[in-house]
Amino acid sequence: MKLKIGDQAPSIQMLDSDGNSFAIPGSNKVVLYFYPKDNTPGCTAQACNLNENLDALKAKGFQVVGVSIDSNASHTKFKAKFNLQFPLLSDPEHEIAEAFGVWVEKSMYGKQYMGVARTTFIIDEKGIITDIIEKVDTKNHSSQIH
C-alpha cells in the first residue's frame, strides 16, 4: 500500500547510528528522507544540502533524519567525512523502507534489482504525513521542504 499525505506514518522506535533513541511519532516534526547509499554522488549532495540548511530547518521545528540500508559503521564514516549534524538510521533488512513503501524494483543497465526509492516524508509530531517529496532535487533538497 502506498502512503499518502494525511496517512499515519508507520511507527519507528530504534537507535540511530550514534546510539541515540529515535521515534515516530516523536516530539518534533520530522524530515525523514530515504536515500539509496552512503558516499554516492547524489546521496552525498542531498545530505550536504540538508546539513548546510539544518539551522533553518530546525528553526521551522524540523528534525532531519536519513534512512538507508547501509550499516551503522558506514553511516558513522559518512557522517564524519561530511560533518553531518543529523541522525542516520540503518535499515539493513529494509523493514522501514518497506513500511514506507520505498523498497521498490529498480533498473540499471537493463538489470532489475530491489532498492530504495529516494523519497522524503514530512511527518508532524502526531505521526501524520504532511508532505511526500518523490522528485528530490538532491542539490537543493532543503528548498523543497515546507
**Active-site annotation, residues:** 43
Are 75 and 44 spatial neighbours (Cβ–Cβ below 8 Å)? no
Cα atoms in the Cβ-side hemisphere of radius 13 Å centred on 32 = 32
Residues 6+ apart with CB under 8 A from 118: 33, 34, 35, 36, 42, 43, 46, 136, 138
CA-closest candidate to residue 88, choices 70, 65, 71, 105: 65
* Gap between the Cα atoms of 28 and 127, Å rounded: 10
Give the DSSP letter of residue 128: B
